[in-house]
Amino acid sequence: MKSLRIYLIVFTTLLVVYLIAQYNRPKEVNWNDSFDFNEKIPYGTYILNNRINDIFKGSKILTFREPPYNVINDNKIKNANYLIINSEVNINDADYGKLVTFIKNGNNVFISAATFGDELFKKLNISTIANLTIGKNDRYFHFTNKSLDTTHTYHLGNNIRDYFFLNFDTSKAFVLGLTQDKKVNFLKYQMGKGNLYLSSNPYIYTNVALMDSAERAYAETSLSFIKNKPNLVLDQYYALGREADSSSMRVFLLNSTLRWAFYISLFSLLFFVIYEIKRRQRIIPVIEPLENATLSFINVVGQVYFEQHDNLNICQKKISYLLEHIRTLYNIKTNVLDEEFIKSLAHKTGINDEFVNALIKYIIGLETNKQVTNAELIKLNKLIEEFYLKASK
């Protein structure tokens, strides 16, 4: 017991130390793409959301998690700038058409993404690619606008991913920014009274970039190209989806492969449950135990003798059973109950001569009687039971 107690104490101590160490160890940094205005992780946009009014002074901030078509159409958005920032912005035909009308009416739309989807490729011949030709320590951006110092460069940290436009319509687009190797990464399209701005580097607007002075300066300058408006719409639809789609199931339902895997798993589980509802074995019937017929028979016979009150008959049967027992077990003749019989019975049973003599003499006396009283029958029964008890020892 002492050794077991020592083991338990040592185990408990080690477990407590392990739990304390796990609780106090530094939390791992979450480097997943988020672009959520409420996330403070490296690739969240918490800083941008809280400091955007430093650039767009006086603008009313409106945040939505709906497609651009719904936002503009349902909320009657006018005289506004529309900012969309995410790693992937796949605009459909309806949203693109609504945004173009929105821009032509004198509003501005700024989209920063690493990939822009099929619709912008069809309409504006836009496609992007990651820049892997330059070492991480040699990366920097600069602007081409003549009103700015075009020789000034903004160096990128190692945590910022670098993309540039592989294709775009040079006859319609104005180039506003370049990478270190002259790759275009910032474009402007003039549409009616407004402008569409496209940036291929959304990570420059995340928390990890805005913590660095050079990258923060680039982000501020790029956003400063947009003329200030009374309203500023911040999009969270492309980063988080609709409000109703915030559950983790959205990931499965938006991806066709995962969606089918989920449906197959669900229906397989339902089929298994329904199939297993059937019993594998038939119900085993409950078999009642057989009644003890011997006891019932004894009760019936005893009741019959009790009602007839034939003590003599009972006495004769008990004597007959006793003598049969002596003949069978001890091989002693019982036709003559004399002194020789008594000595032989006492010798084989080991019972003293006085008791055997008293029992046999009492039996001989009852056999000559024509009637047997209750007291005599009870005494005979006690003597016989005592004989059985002493003979078995």
Tens digit of each residue's pLDDT (9 = 90 or more) over 370-392 = 788 888 888 888 888 888 888 86
Angle at 62 between CA 60 and CA 65, to 5 degrees: 175
Burial of 35 (0-12, 13-18, 19+ CB in 10 A): buried
Q: What is the dihedral of CA 37, 40, 44, 47, to 10 degrees?
A: 60
The amino acid at residue 86 is N
Average pLDDT over residues 306-311: 72
Closest CA to 95 of 115, 106, 109: 109
Evaluate whether residue 281 is within a structural domain.
Answer: no
Co-location of 110 and 52 in the same domain: yes
Supply the pLDDT for residue 265: 81
Say yes or no to pLDDT of 247 above 80. Answer: no
Q: How many residues does the chain have?
A: 393
Residue 378, SS3 per DSSP: helix
**Any idea what the CATH number is for the domain that residue 139 is in?**
3.40.50
pLDDT band of residue 133 (cuts 50, 70, 90) is: low
Residue with tokens 């000595």: 343
| CA 32 and chain centroid, separation | 23
The amino acid at residue 315 is C
The amino acid at residue 295 is L
Say yes or no to pLDDT of 281 above 70. Answer: no
- The residue from 181, 215, 245 where one domain ends is 245
Evaluate whether residue 274 is within a structural domain.
Answer: no
Q: 70: Cβ–Cβ under 8 A, 6 or more apart, which residues?
A: none
Contact 20, 13 (CB under 8 A): no
Distance CA 393, CA 384 (A): 15
Co-location of 56 and 184 in the same domain: yes
pLDDT band of residue 121 (cuts 50, 70, 90) is: very high
Co-location of 232 and 359 in the same domain: no
Evaluate whether residue 78 is within a structural domain.
Answer: yes
Evaluate whether residue 368 is within a structural domain.
Answer: yes
Say yes or no to pLDDT of 136 above 60. Answer: no
What is each CA distance from 373 to 247, 323, 368, in whole angstroms?
97, 21, 13
Distance CA 259, CA 216 (A): 40
The amino acid at residue 142 is H
The pTM assigned to this predicted structure is: 0.59
Supply the pLDDT for residue 298: 67
Within 13 Å, how many C-alpha atoms sit on residue 135's CB side?
Answer: 2
Q: How far apart are the first and last CA of the chain?
A: 47
Co-location of 234 and 307 in the same domain: no
Evaluate whether residue 26 is within a structural domain.
Answer: no
Which range marks the domain in which residue 356 is found? 293-391
- The residue from 212, 245, 278 where one domain ends is 245
Share of the chain above pLDDT 90, in %: 42
Evaluate whether residue 192 is within a structural domain.
Answer: yes
Contact 238, 89 (CB under 8 A): yes
Co-location of 161 and 64 in the same domain: yes
Contact 103, 192 (CB under 8 A): yes
Co-location of 139 and 229 in the same domain: yes
- The residue from 245, 274, 302 where one domain ends is 245
Residue with more model confidence, 367 or 169: 169
Co-location of 227 and 313 in the same domain: no
Contact 237, 64 (CB under 8 A): yes
Contact 347, 388 (CB under 8 A): no
Evaluate whether residue 356 is within a structural domain.
Answer: yes
Co-location of 127 and 188 in the same domain: yes
- The predicted-structure confidence for 7-37, as pLDDT tens digits, reads as follows 677 777 877 777 777 667 777 778 888 899 9
Residue 165, SS3 per DSSP: strand
Cα four-point dihedral sign 265, 266, 271, 277: positive
Contact 262, 250 (CB under 8 A): no
Co-location of 64 and 187 in the same domain: yes
Q: Residue 314 belongs to what H/E stretch?
A: helix 311-330
Co-location of 205 and 91 in the same domain: yes
Say yes or no to pLDDT of 193 above 80. Answer: yes
Say yes or no to pLDDT of 178 above 80. Answer: yes
Say yes or no to pLDDT of 302 above 90. Answer: no
Other CB atoms within 10 Å distance of the CB of residue 34: 22
| CA 62 and chain centroid, separation | 37
Question: Residue 179 corresponds to which tokens in the numbers above?
Answer: 């990478």
Evaluate whether residue 336 is within a structural domain.
Answer: yes
- Which of 134-138, 175-179, 219-223 comes out lowest in average pLDDT? 134-138
Co-location of 174 and 55 in the same domain: yes
Co-location of 63 and 198 in the same domain: yes
- The predicted-structure confidence for 43-102, as pLDDT tens digits, reads as follows 999 999 999 999 999 999 999 999 999 999 999 889 999 999 999 999 999 999 999 999
**What is the overall mean pLDDT for the chain?**
85
Closest CA to 164 of 214, 122, 213, 113: 113
Angle at 287 between CA 282 and CA 290, to 5 degrees: 160
Other CB atoms within 10 Å distance of the CB of residue 390: 14
Looking at the DSSP bridge assignments, the partners of residue 108 are: 81, 195
Q: How many domains does the chain have?
A: 2
pLDDT band of residue 205 (cuts 50, 70, 90) is: very high
Distance CA 79, CA 108 (A): 9
